[in-house]
Amino acid sequence: MVDAVQIVISISDEEQGYDLDLFCIPKHYAADLEKVYIPHGLILDRTERLAREIMKEMGGHHIVALCVLKGGYKFFADLLDYIKALNRNSDRSIPMTVDFIRLKSYCNDQSTGEIKVIGGDDLSTLTGKVSMEKRDIIDTGKTMKTLLQLLKQYNPKMVKVASLLVKRTPRSVGYRPDFVGFEVPDKFVVGYALDYNEYFRDLNHICVISETGKEKYKA
């Protein structure tokens, strides 16, 4: 069976984003951001579409939905809400159980390439199961490839990966997830649970951090 080609929304390198004063931005971040890059409403609309694509490809399988913390929790929760709505209102449905794993691979605005598993449940629950990994962003792809190698130790039946963002970067190892929300330029973005040293997770929109913000919240 040939996998369907997924259409991805690609944001060009020339995209400047939207002025901050067009949106509701918390005052404590007003000087720390350059632009709103992907508004919250667009994120939700795209996430709903990904839920439909996942339902079409994986409907009928009992899957273990694995959330990659911390940055993936908002995307994970919203995506599962849309899948649950489809379960209630369509002919196909996906029985799901939920699990979590916590990873760390960033220091300030750079991916270290070293994956640290610093929390999570017993992944032996994946043995023989269909697993759907949901995470916030694929940067170089090194972290995801390392995680997939880790998961293989538990002999899952099948693993699929959904990522809200994939970054175009010369540092990429060429990894591409199965389901992608947006392809974005090589900029450091925050918000919608994406952080910079634990800040900006409480921001609804995905924004580009300013140099002032980087310096202010530098580790």
Q: Mean pLDDT over residues 197-210, rounded?
A: 95
Looking at the domain assignment, is residue 4 inside a domain?
A: no
Looking at the domain assignment, is residue 142 inside a domain?
A: yes
Confidence of residue 166 (pLDDT cuts 50, 70, 90): very high
For the CA atoms of 165, 14, 107, 46, the dihedral, rounded to the nearest 10 degrees, stands at -20
Which CATH number goes with the domain that contains 88? 3.40.50.2020
Question: Which has the minimum average pLDDT: 17-21, 147-151, 158-162?
Answer: 147-151
Has residue 106 got a pLDDT over 70? no
Looking at the domain assignment, is residue 192 inside a domain?
A: yes
Looking at the domain assignment, is residue 150 inside a domain?
A: yes
pLDDT (tens digit per residue) in 38-59: 999 999 999 999 999 998 888 7
pLDDT (tens digit per residue) in 173-203: 888 999 999 999 999 999 999 999 999 999 9
Looking at the domain assignment, is residue 2 inside a domain?
A: no
Question: Which domain covers residue 158, as residue numbers?
Answer: 9-217
Looking at the domain assignment, is residue 179 inside a domain?
A: yes
Has residue 167 got a pLDDT over 80? yes
Sign for the CA dihedral angle at 157, 174, 171, 197 comes to: negative
Has residue 165 got a pLDDT over 50? yes
Annotation says 139 is catalytic: yes
Has residue 2 got a pLDDT over 50? no
What's the pTM value of the predicted model, to 2 decimals? Answer: 0.87
Residue 115: the pLDDT is 63
In angstroms, how far is the first alpha carbon of the chain from the final one? Answer: 48
Confidence of residue 113 (pLDDT cuts 50, 70, 90): low
Looking at the domain assignment, is residue 176 inside a domain?
A: yes
Q: How far apart are CA 175 and CA 133, in angstroms?
A: 14
Residue 44: phi, psi to the nearest 5?
-65, -40
- Residue tagged active-site, from 32, 78, 136, 139: 139
Looking at the domain assignment, is residue 1 inside a domain?
A: no
Total tally of structural domains belonging to the chain: 1
Cβ-contact 97, 125 below 8 angstroms? yes
41-48: long-range contacts, CB 8 A cutoff, minimum separation 24: 43/78, 43/164, 43/181, 43/192, 43/205, 43/206, 44/78, 46/9, 46/164, 46/181, 46/182, 47/75, 47/78, 47/79, 47/82, 47/164, 47/181, 48/82
